[in-house]
Structure 1
Amino acid sequence: MQAQAPYLLIPSSPEPSTEAGAPEPAALRDDAPPPPPAGAAAEPAARAGHPSWTASLLAERPTAELRHDLSRFGVGVGLASLYGLALGARQGGVSFIHHAAGVPAAMIAVACLGVPALTIVLTLFDAPLDPSRVLSATARAAAATGLVLGGLAPAAALFVVTSGSHDTAALMGLLGLAVGGAIGVRVLLRDLGAALRRDQGLLTRSGYTAALLGFAVFAVALALRVWADTLPLLGGGGS
């Protein structure tokens, strides 16, 4: 009789299980949401790294760049011309040219006459302003005004064409100009005001405030004068 070789019972390895009381991993649960696509998480990060065109146009830069500031000012003037074309749609013809040139003419007048005068007054109070910073603030203000006026251009064109009263059309056109100009002046004063020193005495700080407020009044009066003389919708331009 042959002896039977003994055999060993090797227990099978137990299935992996979580410790008592430990939460089951989300990947093992039946109700776990499907993982997001590979590109879904990277897409918002990619968009965050590339700001929009308007954000780049209005962005503050740590160092002023003459070429960039002049380009930004030119874009603001071009967008403001679109609003002028919208106002000229009421009369048509050569009125397009008068309005397209007249609307940004006020911005150029304020930038060439008002801003240098404001800078000179602020330097009398020992304001730490340099020409590059002033140019950058002026360019941002022009870009902001142009964006507002360019955005209002379609609505202005529709209104001035369909309005039955010339006075109403002129009033609404002037209202759009006032909104765009007010935003531009606000951006300019905010940028210049941020560069002023706050550790000065009461007299110096009062001089800062008076100079900024005086510039705002002068800018409004100058812009209204230019628009009244050049825009046929407002009675100017040889209308």
Structure 2
Amino acid sequence: METGVPEPAERRGDATAAPAERRGDAAASPATTASAGPTAPATSASAGPTAPAGHPGWTASLLAERPAPDLRGDLSRFGVGLGLASLYGLALGARQGGVSFAHHAAGVPAALVAVACLGVPALTIVLTLFDATLDAPRALSATARAAAATGLVLGGLAPAAALFVVTSASDFTAALMGMLGLAVGGVIGVIVLLRDLRAALQRDGGLLLLAGHGAALLGFAGFAVALALRVWWGTLPILKEGVL
């Protein structure tokens, strides 16, 4: 009997302590959950995968707009445009072969050189009459980007041009298809050049006389087209044989 008396008290003590412990656990668990809750999303967000930065392709880098003129980069871009344009000349020379390859490979980019060396400096001089501040480095940068755009178009059309000029039954059809590719590449180059020159004038605040500047740019576009046609007519035998 003596040994059985304290057992109920211990049981009552354990029973009394157990609810208190449960209440303490219940009271502590929301606080723990609340304190642990905000950190969980941050941990999962920080542990998420990070998208790798993409690298622009060669074409995008060639045609990318640059914040400031770079003489070395612009000359390199201009040379790449001439090289791509010469591929189209090689495609045109495939109709006759032999020395015609060299004539056409040199004649197609010769028009780009003529516009860059004669047309752009003349446009810069004309714009000065309308108080337009267009310095030589920016003009060179715009010219190089336009030449690269023209070269990319002509280089992309070179395989199709070679197929058409080789398989055409008449010289007129071959000349017409060759001239069509030249026109597409030339028009795109002129559009890129005029857009870049206009943007340069806007940055310098040179559009106070908008009508005069617009007329000068349009006149340059017509001059560039006429000059390129004249150079191509004089250097590309395929055009002469197609008309004569």
| 1:73 corresponds to | 78
Flag the structure with higher helix content: 2
Q: 2:178 aligns with which of 156, 163, 173?
A: 173
1:169 positional shift: 1.1
Distance between the aligned counterparts of 1:100 and 1:118, measured in 2?
Answer: 28
Runs (4 or more) in structure 1 with deviation over 4 Å come to 9-14
- Structure 2's unaligned 5+ residue stretches are 31-47
Q: Work out the percentage of aligned pairs sharing the same amino acid.
A: 73
1:198 positional shift: 5.8
Matches within 5 A, 1:150-229: 150-196=155-201, 197=205, 200=208, 204-229=209-234
Distance between the aligned counterparts of 1:209 and 1:87, measured in 2?
Answer: 35
| 1:26 corresponds to | none
1:90 matched to 2:99? The reply is no
AA of the residue aligned to 1:42: A
1:207 positional shift: 2.1
AA of the residue aligned to 2:94: A
Aligned to 1:235, the other structure's residue is in SS state: helix
Aligned to 1:55, the other structure's residue is in SS state: helix
**Cα distance change, pair 234–51 in 1 and its aligned pair in 2 (3 A):** same
| 2:107 corresponds to | 102
C-alpha RMSD of matched pairs (Å): 2.5
1:156 positional shift: 1.0
1:142 positional shift: 0.4
TM-score (norm 1): 0.80
AA of the residue aligned to 2:188: I
Distance between the aligned counterparts of 1:128 and 1:120, measured in 2?
Answer: 10
1:138 matched to 2:143? The reply is yes
AA of the residue aligned to 1:51: P
Distance between the aligned counterparts of 1:198 and 1:105, measured in 2?
Answer: 31
TM-score (norm 2): 0.78
1:160 positional shift: 1.2
Moved more, 129-138 or 204-213: 204-213
Distance between the aligned counterparts of 1:61 and 1:82, measured in 2?
Answer: 26
Aligned to 1:126, the other structure's residue is in SS state: coil
AA of the residue aligned to 1:216: A
Distance between the aligned counterparts of 1:61 and 1:199, measured in 2?
Answer: 21
1:208 positional shift: 1.2
Give the total of aligned pairs. Answer: 211
Distance between the aligned counterparts of 1:52 and 1:119, measured in 2?
Answer: 32
Distance between the aligned counterparts of 2:94 and 2:217, measured in 1?
Answer: 36
**Cα distance change, pair 207–58 in 1 and its aligned pair in 2 (3 A):** same
CA contact (8 A) 2:146 2:190 kept: yes
- Structure 1's unaligned 5+ residue stretches are 18-37
